[in-house]
Chain A
Amino acid sequence: MSRNAKINSLLLLLVAALAVLPLALGLGDDEEEPFTGADAQAETAITELEPDYEPWFTPLYEPPSGEIESALFSLQAAIGAGVLAYYFGLRRGRRQGEQRALRDAEPEAGRTPAEGA
């Protein structure tokens, strides 16, 4: 593995560790419901601060179940990941193409007239 690839894998590993540590250390254990969304907690805090507050608008569309919601979230991530992969794939392909073109061009320039004939 090249030095570059090593550093890149290390970065990914660190991100994974940061995500797994709170779970592994059981940091959600003293919560009633571990690892809920911060936005749901904020809604609870609002109703504590102002018990009379009623949300005055409801979402136009709400995913009917947790499964559908997670499907749509994965769709969002998949679209993003797809575009990113397309970008880097295209760049890599272009670079390789350029290198190949350079390589192909060089021997011709260096060729003796006898070979060319």
Chain B
Amino acid sequence: MARLDVRKTYKLYIGGAFPRSESGHSYEVADAAGRFVANASLASRKDVRDAVVAARKAFGGWSGRTAYNRGQILYRIAEVMEDRRPQFEDAVRQSEGLGAAAARGQVDAAVDRLVWYAGWADKLAQVVGNANPVAGPFFNHTAPEPTGVVGALAPQESSLLGLVSTLAPVVVSGNVAVVVSSYGRPLPAVTFAEVLATSDVPGGVVNILTGDATVLGPWLAGHMDVNAIDLVGVAGHPDLAGELEVAAADNLKRVRRAPAAEPDWSIEPGLEPMTAFLEHKTVWHPVGV
């Protein structure tokens, strides 16, 4: 008799651990052709709250790392991903219904994007910060700082490249993230979480929830300890995006608005995905003897 394969349980990623949903719920994930693949954990409101707590706890440490160190860790994620390219290619092919070459292209682009962002870690402050020549005897400079806990609704279509392109700009500057994966295509996100867990990313810096952005989005948008939110995962749903923006106003979250349609992830992103989650701090000190 042929050996029976051992299937993987797809779980959430919260605080560096892989729990099932606190709710006990899961949902069926199908491949692009509609065939059953696996049950994924269906994250609940409580999972969102747990993930925010884990993220907040990780913020001080992660934002306090040197930019050089964060760059090293992002590069390490790319290395570990590169090592597992065949697994990601399978996952993307299955999720997105792509041919082998196209799936490989997505994985390559995702790894390359991480490398691109890794290099930004210790350059961002030089590019978006500066000295200010005030009219008086003062040292005065402005430098970027991370906003804090960022809730990100990952894109629904691009299950890996879109996910990486949404997450990397958030964490490279020292933010921590609670990410809701694509609902219909969540499995590459879970595999990506397994990469994060083995890439020296401190627990809680990235938390990945599989589930429904339309259900989890309002809890994340209304959570008073979340500082910012990326709504790309509800692209094309202007009514819902508007409701989430209203909820986000309760504590004046920084909102990266939902575009009309999911962006073309192959284009070089520019600075905006990073600057959307930065604060500028200006420091003054008198000059004198």
Tell me whether A and B are bound partners.
no
User: Which residues of B line the A interface, CB within 8 A?
Assistant: none
